[in-house]
Structure 1
């Protein structure tokens, strides 16, 4: 699907469920991306996504041909747009992601994978605005998102921050 730098982003497959279960049981990963999920819970949650029965597009991130993380994108549902205070008629996409191998954190891989996905969303789908929410305590992720062009636009009720990437904001720089 996407190959840029030394990162590949591909559609998730059933064979990826064990990776997800492993990553979603790593204490460092679930501190920021929780909750902890068993293999059966991973299958129940992500199975409909890979079967195209859900609005979220699930993807696996590979680095140097090894599966290392997860990234997903989706058109933000209208109910969520209302909470975020966005106009309902604009196509706004959301992304969520994590690197499941914590020994690879802090090496710039997150920045590369998010930048590659943002390029894909803009050039292939025509999306100008992308949002994500992040725990306010996840300073490493916030720094990564800022490097990718996201800015904090709102504090959310659950000690998370809403961050936004907007193409036109990027062009002004």
Structure 2
């Protein structure tokens, strides 16, 4: 349950043990399948923390308490991913994409994901004034994730095969979109 509005702050190295704990939570690990060693976390998040990677990684907070991780990036900065998406969906030219998780079990449910997504999209329009859309592929089996997107105003625009984040999953994905103009 949320205790106030959702705010965001940049991820720091001091946050990596918290992120490791979240990535080990069964509800998160199921979909993220991410190594949690210090070396793996440094390799994946360190470049963003240092500003060497254009992906912005932030912590979602409520009442001053971090409860989730969100990251955003211009799809144009990820040519390999654009190439993979092209057969599945028409990508708007200035689209962003986002990845997200709620790490604190006591915050899951009750609309927390939807609130986080709405706040993050609003923040993204400010951070990227030229962005025209946010496009989010989700593993088709991750129903809680795509329902939160729907409740946050995203529309399903495509379905198709993409490389899953967790190798145990099939390639089936659903793709959601929200445009700046609604």
* Structure 2 length-normalised TM: 0.82
1:24-103 equivalent positions in 2, closer than 5 A: 24-76=23-75, 77-85=78-86, 86=90, 90-103=93-106
Give the Cα–Cα distance (whole angstroms) in 2 for the partners of residues 53 and 69 of structure 1: 23
Find the partner of 1:138 among 133, 142, 145: 142
Give the Cα–Cα distance (whole angstroms) in 1 for the partners of residues 91 and 172 of structure 2: 23
SS at match of 1:97: strand
Which residue in 2 is equivalent to 1:161?
174
SS at match of 1:156: strand
Q: Does 1:18 align with 2:22?
A: no
Equivalent pair of 1:29/1:102 in contact (CA under 8 Å): no
Structure 2, unaligned runs of 5 or more: 162-170
Give the Cα–Cα distance (whole angstroms) in 2 for the partners of residues 87 and 131 of structure 1: 8
Find the partner of 1:120 among 119, 123, 131: 123
Give the Cα–Cα distance (whole angstroms) in 2 for the partners of residues 65 and 113 of structure 1: 14
Length, aligned pairs only: 164
Give the Cα–Cα distance (whole angstroms) in 1 for the partners of residues 136 and 59 of structure 2: 18
Which residue in 2 is equivalent to 1:107?
110
Give the Cα–Cα distance (whole angstroms) in 2 for the partners of residues 41 and 78 of structure 1: 23
Structure 1, unaligned runs of 5 or more: none
Query: Which stretch of the first structure deviates more once superposed, 129-138 or 149-158?
Result: 149-158
SS at match of 2:24: coil
Query: Which stretch of the first structure deviates more once superposed, 92-101 or 145-154?
Result: 145-154
Per-residue deviation, residues 13-38 of structure 1 (Å, max 9, x unmatched): 11100011111111211112222422
Q: CA deviation at 1:163?
A: 1.2
Q: CA deviation at 1:87?
A: 5.5
